[in-house]
Amino acid sequence: MSRIGKAPIVIPAGVTVKVDGNVVSVKGPKGELSYEFHSDLAVAVEDGHVVVTRPSDDREHRAHHGLVRALIHNMVTGVSEGYKKEMELVGVGYRATSNGQVLELSLGFSHAIYFKFPPEVKVEAKTERNKNPMITLESCDKQLLGQCCAKLRSLRKPEPYKGKGIKFVGEVIRRKSGKSASAK
């Protein structure tokens, strides 16, 4: 049995989980999410827990068992607590300002970049004196939040020589020494 798949998901207070056919809907204080899972698996809500079961030890069933359980757990966590990612802009002259769902970025190109986020993602940009600009993204949908962060990071990935670019807070960039280090 899958260790992840057989673990029941505890439903916190204020969160409701409904299973209709092979669609599970989760509603909580932070939002509402739904997911259509594999038709062979069975998802049941019993006395404050969500349990995912599989019909056989078939390779496909084993693969989907842990996946579906993890996705439902992420949905329950998202609608109850939410997810938050923080990113920072490292580089001279790099700026970020948020205006509703639109983030205006100045990343050293000849033009400003306007990045529009979906309505499920809340964006906030902070700039403090003598510190790197910070971008905070919040959402109840973990997958959508990760996708938005990846798109934002792809605009200017951190480079290994000076470390300039958009990076996650706490991310360690592997640095390279330049030409002068190998000139001996």
Is the CATH code 3.90.930.12 the one for domain 83-168? yes
Positive/negative CA dihedral, 51, 76, 148, 126: negative
How does pLDDT run across 65-85, given as a tens digit for each residue? 999 999 999 999 999 999 999
Residue 88's identity, in one-letter code, is E
Pick the closest to residue 16 from 83, 84, 75 (CA basis).
75
* Same fold: 3-80 with 83-168: yes
- pLDDT reported for residue 179: 83
Query: Which pTM value belongs to this model?
Result: 0.88
* Top-level class of domain 3-80: alpha beta
Would the pLDDT of 121 be above 80? yes
Residue 160 tokens read as 């290994």
Banded model confidence at residue 182, pLDDT cuts 50, 70, 90: low
Every domain of the chain and the residues it spans: 3-80, 83-168
